[in-house]
C-alpha cells in the first residue's frame, strides 16, 4: 500500500459512536489508533484534515461535551480512529478529572485492539504534566507513540525546527518508542506522514477479508511482538 492508497481509505472514515465510558466502547477486536491531547491542541482539526471532512470530529469548548470517547470507522469496522476526551480544562471538577484519568489509563493500558497513540500538542508549548502521564500509560501498555506538533504554521521554519528538537529531547528522556512530526491543519503540512502512520497501525487495506477470529489472533500476535521489543 502506498501513502496515496492509505489516504484514499482514510477519506472514507465515518462516525461510528460516542461512548461515555469504556464499558460502552465497540468490541475490542480489529485495530484502533487513539488521538489524544490537551483541549485546544488541534485534535478535531487534525482528524477533520486527515479525513478530508469538515465536521467529522467536532471541536467543543464546553467541558461536558468533550467528555466522550468518539469512535470512527476507517474504511471498515475493523479499523478505527478514537478521539479521546481533551484534557487540561481548568474548570472541570476534580472528581470528574480523576474519573477520566482512570478511564484513560485503563483504556491505554488494557485495550487489546489499540495499536498506537497519536499525541497532539501545540508546537508553541512543551509537553505538560498530563501529556507525560499519557505517555507513561502508553509505555505501560507497550504502545508506540506518534507525536503531532500541531499549528506548525504559527512558527517560522527555524523556530519550528528548534521546537521539534526540544520536544524530541523531552520524549527521549521518557525512554519509550516514539516518532514525531510537524503538522498544520491550516496549510495541510504533514498529511503524508500521518497517513503512513495510520495506514501501518490500522493495517489499512490488509484486513478487509479477515474474520473476527483472525483479527483476534492477529492482535495477540501484535501484542506479543510489542512486548518482546
Enumerate binding residues for ligand GDP (CB under 6 A): 37, 39-45, 59, 86, 150-151, 153-154, 184-186
Q: Would you say 43 or 139 has its CB closer to ligand GDP?
A: 43
Closest C-alpha to 17, from 87, 68, 79, 74 = 68
Q: Are 156 and 163 in contact (CB under 8 A)?
A: no
Residue nearest to ligand GDP (CB): 59
- Indicate the angle between helix axes 191-201 and 43-51, nearest 10 degrees: 80
Q: Which is nearer to ligand GDP, 185 or 195 (CB)?
A: 185
CA distance linking residue 162 with residue 210, whole number of Å: 44
Exposed/middle/buried for 173, CB within 10 Å: 0-12, 13-18, 19+?
exposed
Q: Which three cell numbers stand for residue 137?
A: 500509560
The CB-of-126 to ligand GDP minimum distance in angstroms stands at: 17
What's the closest the beta carbon of residue 69 comes to ligand GDP, in angstroms?
14
- Minimal distance in Å, beta carbon 220 to ligand GDP? 33
Cβ nearer to ligand GDP, comparing 86 with 116: 86
CB of 223 to ligand GDP, least distance (A): 29
Amino acid at each position: 500500500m502506498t501513502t496515496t492508497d492509505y489516504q484514499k481509505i482514510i477519506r472514507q472514515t465515518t462516525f461510528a459512536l460516542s461512548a461515555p465510558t469504556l464499558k460502552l466502547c465497540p468490541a475490542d477486536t480489529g485495530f484502533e489508533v487513539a488521538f489524544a491531547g490537551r483541549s485546544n491542541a488541534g485534535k478535531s482539526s487534525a482528524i477533520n484534515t486527515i479525513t478530508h471532512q469538515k465536521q467529522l470530529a467536532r471541536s467543543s469548548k464546553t467541558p461536558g461535551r468533550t467528555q466522550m470517547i468518539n469512535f470512527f470507522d476507517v474504511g471498515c469496522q475493523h479499523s478505527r480512529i478514537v478521539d479521546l476526551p481533551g484534557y487540561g480544562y481548568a474548570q472541570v471538577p476534580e472528581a470528574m478529572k480523576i474519573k477520566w484519568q482512570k478511564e484513560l489509563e485503563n483504556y491505554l493500558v488494557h485495550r487489546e485492539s489499540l495499536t498506537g497513540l497519536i499525541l497532539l500538542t501545540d508546537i508553541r508549548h512543551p509537553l505538560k504534566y498530563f501529556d507525560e502521564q499519557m505517555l507513561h500509560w502508553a509505555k505501560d501498555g507497550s504502545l508506540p507513540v506518534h507525536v503531532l506538533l500541531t499549528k506548525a504554521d504559527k512558527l517560522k521554519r527555524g523556530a519550528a525546527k528548534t521546537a521539534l528538537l526540544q520536544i524530541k529531547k523531552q520524549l527521549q528522556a521518557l525512554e519509550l518508542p516514539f516518532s514525531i512530526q510537524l503538522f498544520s491543519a491550516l496549510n495541510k503540512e504533514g498529511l503524508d506522514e500521518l497517513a503512513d502512520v495510520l495506514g501501518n497501525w490500522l493495517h489499512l487495506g490488509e484486513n478487509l477479508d479477515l474474520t473476527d477470529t483472525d483479527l483476534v489472533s492477529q492482535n495477540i500476535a501484535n501484542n506479543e511482538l510489542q512486548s518482546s521489543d
